[in-house]
Amino acid sequence: MSNTQTQQTQANILSAEKTRWIYRKMVEIRKFEEAVIKGTRNGSLGPFAHTSDGQEAVAVGTCAHLNEKDYITSTHRGHGHSIAKGGDLNTLMAEMAGKATGCDKGKGGSLHLADLTKGNIGANGVVGGGLPIACGAGLTAKLTKSGAVTVAFFGDGANNQGVFHEALNLAAIWKLPVVFVCENNKYGEYTWNGYATAATKISDRAAGYNIPGKTINGNDVVEVYQTVGEAIERARNGEGPSLIECETFRIQGHGISDPQIYKTEEEKQLHLTDEECIKKFKSYVTKHQLLSDKEMSEIDQSIEDTVEKALQFAINSPYPDAKELYTDVYVSY
């Protein structure tokens, strides 16, 4: 392909509507996480949170292909996944504060955001916990012929859990409509993936399960959109699972108070470079004239307001009633 052709194809990848949606969601997640950091530090939210700022492109580029019938399973770093899958900022933020108006009535917290009505089967406090659950959702979709695809988000650290291998194998032999999306931010807490993982690339693991595996730039939302899109299409067509490794970085530490001494100076500055995912997308849309600066700053402003309202909603909402301690343990007992 000639350069001009590539550029044209590049420009056609995203519809105007998708472009706006992607930009909006990425900024929504970023601003939400910034509010979470603020709220966690000043005590208006819960005592901890693992924020996903820096990794927005993976959640958004992936969920851009999913409808409400599709499922995701998420992780302890799951705010972005929840937002990208259509979660309501007010109820998400209220959950973070443990309020009755939260998406789990305040019983779950940051580690356990879930909204089944939107196909979000839930964030998980157990590393790797969502992977077999995604297989289960895939099995339902397959047996009921619902056409739904399940995306299992997981971190690089989770790829050394036994369940990761078991889930990939099972999904492969049963040709489940599941896409395994790895957010490789290079660290599992304070442990470097280069040390913890024997494979050169996490996507190399796919070969052992005879499924497609790809490693892509997870800071490039367009690349995520294209590559994960193909895997989702494949799954929807009954051709089985894929493993996509998205290389990215977290702007914060593991949690909010992590001094990150394991990162090099260069890594600590990554969010100031062109690799920062929102900046990267901005230059893409500008280059291809998909969104103007004015449109983007209007979106930014409206999100600023929405997120601030969400934080106020969380702060002003009541705590759950004491009797809620005992409800929801069983359906009937």
Partner 1 sequence: MSRQITTVQALNEAIKLAMRADERVIVMGEDVVGGTGLPHLEEQNIEAVGGAFRVTKGCSVEFGRERVLDTPISENTIVGTGVGAAITGLRPIVEVMFNDFLGYCLDAVMNQAAKFRYMYGGKANVPLVVRMPFGAGYGAGAQHSQTLYSMVTSVPGLKVVVPSSPYDAKGLLLAAVEDNDPVIFFESISLYGLKGEVPEGYYTIPLGKAEIKRAGSDVTIVAIGNMVQRALQAAEQLAAKGIDAEVVDPRTLSPLDEDTILASVEKTNRLVIVDESNPRCSAAADIAAIVQEKAFDNLDAPIKRVNAPHTPVPFSKPLEDLYTPSAENIIRAVAEVVNDESIIPV
Ligand X SMILES: Cc1ncc(C[n+]2csc(CCOP(=O)(O)OP(=O)(O)O)c2C)c(N)n1
Is residue 37 within 8 A of residue 311, CB to CB? The reply is: no
> What does the DSSP assignment read for 251-280?
SS-SSTT---TTS-HHHHTGGGSTTSHHHH
Q: Which of 111, 114, 134, 231 binds partner 1 (CB under 8 A)?
A: 111
Minimum CB separation of residue 7 from partner 1 in Å reads 40
Asked if 269 interacts with partner 1 (CB under 8 A), we say no
Burial class of 145 by CB neighbour count within 10 A (0 to 12, 13 to 18, 19+): exposed
Site string (143-162) toward partner 1, x via CB under 8 A: --------------xx-xxx
Report the alpha-carbon distance of residue 74 to residue 56 in Å, rounded.
Answer: 13
Minimum CB separation of residue 83 from ligand X in Å reads 16
Shortest-Cβ-distance residue relative to ligand X = 155
77 binds, among ligand X, partner 1, Mg ion, none (CB under 5 to 8 A by kind): ligand X
The contact set with ligand X (CB under 6 A) reads 50, 76-77, 125-127, 155-158, 183, 185, 187-189, 254
3 binds, among ligand X, Mg ion, partner 1, none (CB under 5 to 8 A by kind): none
| Cβ closest to partner 1, residue 46 vs residue 86 | 46
Is residue 26 within 8 A of residue 278, CB to CB? The reply is: yes
Asked if 102 interacts with Mg ion (CB under 5 A), we say no
| C-alpha closest to that of 250 among 153, 185, 155, 159 | 185
Asked if 132 interacts with partner 1 (CB under 8 A), we say no
The Cα diameter of the chain in Å comes to 67
- Laid out side by side, the sheet with 71-73 consists of 120-122, 71-73, 150-155, 178-184, 242-247, 213-217
> What does the DSSP assignment read for 44-77?
SS-S-----TT-HHHHHHHHTT--TTSEEE--SS
Minimum CB separation of residue 62 from ligand X in Å reads 15
CB neighbours of 87 closer than 8 A, spacing ≥ 6? 103, 113, 115, 118, 120
Q: For partner 1, which stretch binds (CB under 8 A), given 10-18, 54-62, 189-197, 236-244?
A: 189-197
Site string (23-62) toward partner 1, x via CB under 8 A: -----------------------xxx--------------
Asked if 122 interacts with partner 1 (CB under 8 A), we say no
Asked if 208 interacts with partner 1 (CB under 8 A), we say no
Q: For partner 1, which stretch binds (CB under 8 A), given 18-26, 97-105, 218-226, 240-248?
A: 97-105
| Cβ closest to ligand X, residue 223 vs residue 245 | 245
Asked if 156 interacts with Mg ion (CB under 5 A), we say yes
Is residue 152 within 8 A of residue 142, CB to CB? The reply is: no
CA distances from 204 to 18, 91, 255 (A): 31, 39, 29
Q: Which of 188, 212, 218, 240 binds partner 1 (CB under 8 A)?
A: 188
Asked if 155 interacts with Mg ion (CB under 5 A), we say yes
CA distances from 223 to 2, 14, 52, 215, 269 (A): 19, 11, 19, 10, 23
276 binds, among ligand X, partner 1, Mg ion, none (CB under 5 to 8 A by kind): none
Q: Which of 90, 184, 185, 197 binds partner 1 (CB under 8 A)?
A: 197
Is residue 199 within 8 A of residue 164, CB to CB? The reply is: no
Element (DSSP H or E) covering residue 114: none
Task: List residues near partner 1 by CB under 8 A.
Answer: 46-48, 98-99, 104, 106-112, 124-129, 157-158, 160-163, 188-192, 194-197, 261-262, 264, 319-320, 322, 324-326, 329
Task: List residues near Mg ion by CB under 5 A.
Answer: 155-157, 185, 188
